[in-house]
Structure 1
Amino acid sequence: MREAKAELDRIVRFSEGEHRDFIEGKKRDIAAFHLKNNGFYRNLNPSADFTSWESLPVLTKKSLQIPLQQRLSGGFSAKSIYVNKTSGSSGDPFVFAKDKYSHAMTWASNIYRFGWYGIDFNQSLQARFYGIPLDALGYKKERIKDWLAHRYRFPVFDLSDAVLEQFLGHFRTKKFDYINGYTSSIVLFAKFLKRRQIVLKDICPTLKVCMVTSEMLFDDDKTLLETQFGIPVVNEYGASELDLIAFQNPHVEWQVNAETLFVEILDDAGAVLPYGREGRIVISSLYNTAHPFLRYDIGDIGVLDEKSTLQKPVLKKLTGRTNDIAVLPSGKKSPGLTFYYVTKSIIEDDGNVKEFVITQTKTDAFEIDYVSDKALTPQQITGIEAAIAQYLEPGLHFNFNRKTVLERGSRGKLRQFRSLL
């Protein structure tokens, strides 16, 4: 960790020219390393030698769904690497590995960015809104890890008012420095505070900042969080197999990690798009020698801001996952979160609906599962259908299902939209 933190400190001090040379050198070195030492990656390439960055293949999660041992670089074993698995929120889970220095660079990156807001991982107490293993051994191990890492975990599988009241009790007695966790769970807690007319910082004055991750943060939800928590809200975008990808800086820019990663935006044919154009987010890990993550299509769609530079890329827009695109009867393709956003603007006006998710079952058919104090009225349902017809297209059919609780993934994530097509 000492070496990694020293190296990251050196990188962030580079001039623009030094940083350009650093990126080009790291790209060349990591590609050449895997072409020489990783049989799996070498077999994917038309040439065994590095010729140009653009000639390297684009990896997908599906292409990595073979046993980990077959994907490891020569000289690495299970004992000499960090091993974990993705959450599967994209529908394509897999086990991955990092060499230990690469893993240390990931943590150095986290420490650096959280430090922008006065958070010290060695001292600051985190209120953690995440899932947790429910088996006895897994639960105990995670609680021990939380204690060592200065975290207190709020499991997000049950977010009823009675449980949220218990959460609130911990904020009254513990000196939390920051909140970190899944967006949907933290938003639900903020809605609970709004109903109780409570500003969280009033009862927990040590709070400095809230970091949300893994799920979409809408502008109105960010306003809600800042109002009910009384602290800044920071949007985080990352992937466990990579690193923090983008992190909102104090100037409210979604600054892309250009120290341990190289981020490209590609079109459907694999061509690099200029800043300002929307396309597939493709990411390369510049340090991971144990496992190739080179030109890795993470499955998301986004835009790099026109003001981006190689040293300071800025993520302008994150549309959603490529497998969460709605294909409509007219042939139109629309990000599934468009449905979520339009519907959200209507059904949450009175605070009745706590959460909802949308699932596309046919080109013209959608299921909307929601949690609420009382069922939606026919007038509200008509209003939702009319708004979607106006913003997207008419002739779509919706089935509304009132639920006691929404199904979350094994780690507690809530997929706000998904297509079964």
Structure 2
Amino acid sequence: MFQNLRLEIWKNIHSLPLGFIRFWQLRALQSLARHAYLHTGLYHDLWDKNGIGPSQLKHLSDLQRFPVINKKTFLNAPVESYIGLIKQQFYIWRYTSGTGGQPFPFTSINGIHSPYANFLRYRFLYWERIPPSIIQKKMPMVRISSAEIKRITYQANIDIPLTEFLTNPKKIIKELVHLQPIVIESYPSVLVEIAQAAIEFSQFQKLGIQYAISYGENLKSWQRKFIEDTLECEVIDRYGIAETGVIATECRYHDSFHLNTESFILEIVDTNGASLPSGKTGRIIITDLRNYVMPFIRYDIGDQGRFLPGHCPCGLEGERFVVNGREGEFLALGSAKVHHLEFDKVMDSFSGAIIQYQVAKIDEHAVTLFIICGPAMTEFILNHIREKMQALIGTDCRLNIEFVTKIKRAPRGKCQTLIST
């Protein structure tokens, strides 16, 4: 009964007064901090070393006094020092994809189709006032994800391994036509390939998709346009990490993420861990208020972002923010470092001519730009791309451009914008 009551509050928390949201977060933070201090040696020793403790959490702003941690904090510590099992929770061990560096083992407290996981994945539907009973049991949804998952059917949900789609896209498109899913979710690069396959196999009738949820990769503006125009659906971008699950979701205005405030505290901080005001870009730091097995308190995700000032036109309360991407995602070319956002800024100018791209570093003085062309690509645009890219990487760096139909994927299925060969 308590679980059902809590879920009812969570579903509506963005419509509640901001003061209630802050009160909820503070109480949840105080409880989590007490547990972490008493039952995990990692936090106990780290906080003692910094002269800080749970009793000093009187206000949410007091969280800034606690040290920031990251993956290395856990990787350099014995497992028994950060697993706190006094408070009983279901959990399983999982690994991050490793695209940001070394794969990282962590405990997940939510099964892929637990009520809470489904609630977060499809929260935007709750905001559209679709009844929970329809969302959870009657709305056909298809998820195409990690190459390592097995095909799962759960109520109206179907999980399809990415390898199945990549091996035989025509078969999966036929299946989607038969299923007529309302929602499909996957990496942006996979949604692009689904749209491409739908064009290639145009003899099939429409897929009937109303919402395409993207996650796991940075969604580019031209990808959103191509997916929406081709599949005739609305693209909803979602933000999260493997360690914590879904952190935030877009609303119908598609200009920022709305934080799941009942479950997380999100900070934007400078290099010293001090909070930054709205509009200032900094490191994204997350505190997961639900995970008592492996607490994440002031956890540096490795992404850069900024809060947006003011209220969203949709009327939802709580923080909204934008994500700029991985902090260390750049190519070192000679003496210069070119960040992925700089490449994105160039390619943003050619929406319609580009569906997807990838920059591969061949050596210190050579890169190859792989492009999946859109319908608007012309020789004039190609020359313009070459000119702007050459100016970005420098005249000492050799640029080669190749048109491709597929972009190389990492072992677990993600497409990275920047790679080194």
The verdict on a shared fold, with TM-score over 0.5 as the criterion, is: yes
* 2:325 is the counterpart of 1:320: yes
1:246 aligns with: 248
| 8 Å Cα contact 1:87/1:411 also seen in 2 | yes
2:137 aligns with: 122
2:195 aligns with: 190
2:387 aligns with: 386
3-state DSSP class of the match of 2:107?
A: strand
| 8 Å Cα contact 2:228/2:234 also seen in 1 | yes
Change (3 A) 1:210 1:8: same
| 8 Å Cα contact 1:347/1:380 also seen in 2 | no
List aligned pairs for 1:9-408, cutoff 5 A: 9=11, 11-45=13-47, 46-47=50-51, 49-50=53-54, 51=56, 52-65=62-75, 66=77, 68-75=79-86, 80-99=90-109, 105-117=116-128, 118=130, 120-133=135-148, 142-143=150-151, 146-148=152-154, 150-157=156-163, 163-194=168-199, 203-205=206-208, 207-252=209-254, 253-307=256-310, 311-315=317-321, 317-327=322-332, 329=334, 331=336, 334-340=338-344, 342-343=346-347, 349=353, 355-360=356-361, 364-369=365-370, 383-391=384-392, 393-400=394-401, 406-408=407-409
Cα distance between partner residues in 2 of 1:370 and 1:17: 48
Cα distance between partner residues in 2 of 1:172 and 1:109: 26
3-state DSSP class of the match of 1:277?
A: coil
| 8 Å Cα contact 1:8/1:108 also seen in 2 | no
Amino acid at match of 2:158: Y
Cα distance between partner residues in 1 of 2:37 and 2:97: 28
Amino acid at match of 1:342: V
Q: CA deviation at 1:355?
A: 4.7
Amino acid at match of 2:71: K
Cα distance between partner residues in 2 of 1:154 and 1:277: 40
Cα distance between partner residues in 2 of 1:34 and 1:383: 55
Percent sequence identity is 21
Change (3 A) 1:366 1:347: farther
| Structure 2 unaligned spans of 5+ | 57-61
Cα distance between partner residues in 2 of 1:391 and 1:90: 24
Change (3 A) 1:3 1:55: same
Amino acid at match of 2:145: Y
| 8 Å Cα contact 1:325/1:419 also seen in 2 | no
Change (3 A) 1:107 1:95: farther
Change (3 A) 1:240 1:169: same
Cα distance between partner residues in 1 of 2:218 and 2:22: 31
1:136 aligns with: none
Change (3 A) 1:232 1:109: same
3-state DSSP class of the match of 1:147?
A: strand
3-state DSSP class of the match of 1:184?
A: helix
Cα distance between partner residues in 2 of 1:419 and 1:189: 27
3-state DSSP class of the match of 2:38?
A: helix
After superposition, the CA RMSD in angstroms is 3.6
| 8 Å Cα contact 2:188/2:223 also seen in 1 | no
Cα distance between partner residues in 1 of 2:94 and 2:115: 15
Cα distance between partner residues in 2 of 1:222 and 1:337: 17
3-state DSSP class of the match of 1:411?
A: coil
Q: CA deviation at 1:395?
A: 3.1
Cα distance between partner residues in 1 of 2:136 and 2:378: 48
| 8 Å Cα contact 1:68/1:96 also seen in 2 | no
Q: CA deviation at 1:249?
A: 1.0
Change (3 A) 1:405 1:7: same
Cα distance between partner residues in 1 of 2:291 and 2:37: 13
| Structure 1 unaligned spans of 5+ | 134-138
3-state DSSP class of the match of 2:137?
A: coil
Amino acid at match of 1:213: Y
Q: CA deviation at 1:399?
A: 4.6
TM-score (norm 1): 0.80
Change (3 A) 1:123 1:378: closer
1:191-225 CA-partner distances (Å, limit 9, x unpaired): 34345668x9x6234x3211111111122221111
Which of 22-31 and 146-155 deviates more?
A: 146-155
Cα distance between partner residues in 1 of 2:368 and 2:207: 39
Cα distance between partner residues in 1 of 2:201 and 2:358: 25
3-state DSSP class of the match of 2:25?
A: helix
Q: CA deviation at 1:60?
A: 0.8
Amino acid at match of 1:170: E
Cα distance between partner residues in 2 of 1:338 and 1:358: 12
Amino acid at match of 2:51: S
Amino acid at match of 1:249: C
Q: CA deviation at 1:339?
A: 1.9
Cα distance between partner residues in 2 of 1:54 and 1:151: 41
Q: CA deviation at 1:151?
A: 3.2
3-state DSSP class of the match of 1:25?
A: helix
Amino acid at match of 2:318: K
Cα distance between partner residues in 1 of 2:252 and 2:383: 42
